[in-house]
């Protein structure tokens, strides 16, 4: 594995991101003829009189029929062969499995904690959809947590980008609000909202809620000096395998860190160290692109959210710091000769990864409706596709038929963008600054209420509907936001109708 200083030197090299590859995939290279055809297919449309060809299937052949139930996000890829469905179901069983603290008579399920936020993956990703913040200030939530870090060391000479933060010395990288019996939890998150009115061009007033976050009842003393808190609501799970299969080169083609084209948008790649491959990779997952693959994202959640060890995070105490001696001394579920000596063995991690990779994207609803088409044109004309890139063709793959060579419509560039002070958490994460966020995919966004029982959006759920989410956009997205503010009501309503059709 690259040593940290070597990695940081590479991160500081302007052209380094162009060397990133798809080492996590078994890729069959495209021919020149295929690439030319793909370049024409993914070019943004200028015709809004009818849906584009295949637009009703946003995940290509992996798309499934849209369901009217809360299970709309819990189905397997539409092109999955029957013999692979068992692995999907086994992965689902592990994703919904409730873990218990060690020692326990249920030796296949023990090892939870000692500090944790949830007892099952499904506790945060409810119905494989979005989590949500507490309904009332001071209320409890099992699908939202706080990242925490303190300022890192000074930048070495000649290296412009440094690991600007490090784990809090007392609390680690995440606040765990639950604990095993006899242990003290790390505290709980307190949220207070202030209403901020925004007046649109037609006189409509929209109230945004600006949150403030704090740690209360901290069980392990004060936070470290300069501690930074950043909330996270669990995102929806659909289409992850297809995003993982988009060629790195196609994502990097949208980079414009110096805004060379002068459009005010300067997306750049999240580059992160891979624990699995021992090299820098393109960060595709997490709100700031902190993980390169679904497997590493899953292993990180097992460790940070549930305190469970995997081959990528083998310590049985999860996120406990050296200062939390009682936590590190607590019983763990690791035993020689059982589950690879881990709490989540290799096969179980692979099954959860397979399940997460194959949660299917539902088909579009009414893509040919005139109001939807008008809203699509508004979306394009406002410049939203500068970050929410409509479509890609995935890599042709040897061993992932569900994700191989599919035309997909996720509406994301998977790059980091400065979203301005309103959305800033002021907490750097790897290459991402305190005001940068990775562009979220939009597919399935119109089914949020149906699946998750709410319509809360953004990284912390502060936006109570899609219009509020748009109005929070700033920084590189400010010009697009202002165009939406200036829309007449029929056009604004059409824009929302289009988003709800995704």
Residue 440 belongs to what domain range? 4-77+238-274+359-500
| Domain identity same for 254 and 313 | no
| Domain identity same for 436 and 301 | no
| pLDDT for the residue 164 | 67
Nearest to 95 by CA among 291, 312, 361, 294: 294
| Domain identity same for 304 and 268 | no
| Domain identity same for 220 and 130 | yes
Cα–Cα dist 281/65, whole Å: 34
Count up the domains in the chain and report the number.
2
| Domain identity same for 384 and 263 | yes
Nearest to 292 by CA among 265, 274, 319: 274
Retrieve residue 172's tokens.
């680690």
Residue 144 near residue 452, CB atoms below 8 Å:
no
| Domain identity same for 92 and 64 | no
Tell me if 55 is assigned to some domain. Answer: yes
| Domain identity same for 153 and 242 | no
| Domain identity same for 243 and 183 | no
Complete DSSP assignment for 175-207 = E--EE-TT-----EEEEEEEEEEEE-TTS-EEE
| Domain identity same for 179 and 266 | no
| pLDDT for the residue 4 | 47
Tell me if 354 is assigned to some domain. Answer: no
Which letter, b or e, does each residue of 403-441 get, where b requires 16 or more Cβ atoms within 10 Å of its Cβ?
bbbbbbbbbbbbbbbbbbebbbbebbbbbbbbbbbbbbb
Retrieve residue 431's tokens.
């290459």
User: Consecutive sets of 10 residues in the chain, 502 residues long: mean pLDDT of each?
Assistant: 48 61 96 96 97 98 97 98 97 97 89 95 95 70 85 61 76 95 92 96 97 91 92 96 98 95 94 94 97 98 97 96 95 86 96 98 98 98 98 98 98 98 94 96 98 96 97 98 98 98 98
Whole-model pTM: value is 0.94
Tell me if 287 is assigned to some domain. Answer: no
Tell me if 279 is assigned to some domain. Answer: no
| Domain identity same for 99 and 132 | yes
Tell me if 281 is assigned to some domain. Answer: no
Tell me if 284 is assigned to some domain. Answer: no
| Domain identity same for 446 and 381 | yes
Nearest to 173 by CA among 121, 232, 257: 232
| Domain identity same for 199 and 334 | yes
């Amino acid at each position: 594995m690259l040593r940290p200083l070597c990695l940081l030197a590479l991160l500081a090299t302007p052209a380094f991101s162009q060397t990133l590859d798809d080492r996590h995939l078994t890729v069959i290279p495209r021919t020149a003829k295929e690439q030319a055809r793909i370049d024409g297919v993914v070019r943004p449309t200028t015709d809004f009189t009818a849906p584009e060809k295949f637009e009703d299937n946003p995940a290509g052949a992996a798309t499934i029929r849209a369901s009217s139930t809360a299970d709309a996000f819990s189905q397997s890829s539409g092109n999955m062969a029957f013999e692979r469905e068992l692995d999907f179901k086994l992965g689902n069983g592990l994703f919904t499995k409730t873990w218990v603290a060690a020692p326990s008579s249920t030796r296949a399920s023990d090892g939870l904690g000692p500090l944790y936020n949830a007892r099952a993956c499904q506790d945060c990703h409810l119905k494989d959809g979005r989590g949500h913040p507490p309904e009332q200030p001071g209320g409890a939530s099992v699908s939202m947590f706080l990242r925490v870090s303190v300022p890192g060391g000074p930048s070495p000479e000649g290296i412009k980008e440094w690991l600007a933060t490090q784990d809090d010395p007392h609390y680690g990288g995440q606040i765990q609000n639950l604990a095993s019996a006899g242990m003290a939890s790390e505290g709980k998150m307190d949220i207070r909202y202030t209403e901020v009115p925004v007046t649109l061009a037609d006189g409509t007033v929209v109230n945004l809620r600006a949150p403030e976050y704090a740690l209360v009842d901290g069980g392990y003393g004060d936070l470290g000096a300069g501690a930074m808190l950043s909330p996270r609501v669990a995102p929806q799970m659909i289409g992850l395998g297809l995003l993982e299969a988009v060629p790195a080169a196609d994502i990097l083609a949208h980079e414009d860190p110096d805004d060379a084209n002068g459009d005010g948008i300067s997306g750049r790649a999240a580059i992160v160290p891979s624990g699995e491959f021992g090299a820098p990779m393109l960060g595709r997952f997490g709100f700031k692109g902190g993980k390169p693959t679904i497997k590493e994202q899953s292993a990180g959640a097992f460790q940070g959210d549930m305190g469970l060890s995997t081959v990528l995070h083998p310590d049985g105490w999860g996120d406990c710091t050296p200062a939390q001696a009682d936590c590190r001394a607590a019983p763990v579920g690791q035993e020689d000769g059982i589950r690879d000596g881990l709490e989540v063995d290799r096969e179980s991690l692979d099954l959860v990864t397979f399940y997460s990779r194959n949660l299917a994207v539902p088909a579009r609803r009414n893509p040919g409706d005139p109001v939807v088409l008008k809203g699509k044109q508004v979306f394009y004309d406002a410049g939203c596709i500068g970050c929410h890139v409509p479509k890609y063709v995935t890599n042709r793959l040897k061993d992932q038929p569900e994700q191989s060579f599919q035309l997909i419509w996720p509406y994301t560039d998977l790059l980091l963008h400065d979203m301005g002070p309103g959305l800033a958490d002021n907490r750097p994460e790897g290459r991402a600054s305190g005001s940068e966020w990775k562009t979220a995919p939009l597919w399935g966004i119109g089914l949020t209420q149906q699946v998750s029982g709410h319509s809360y959006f953004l990284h912390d759920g502060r936006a109570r509907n899609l219009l509020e989410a748009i109005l929070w956009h700033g920084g590189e997205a400010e010009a697009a936001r202002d165009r939406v503010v200036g829309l007449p009501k029929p056009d604004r309503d059409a824009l929302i109708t289009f988003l709800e059709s995704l």
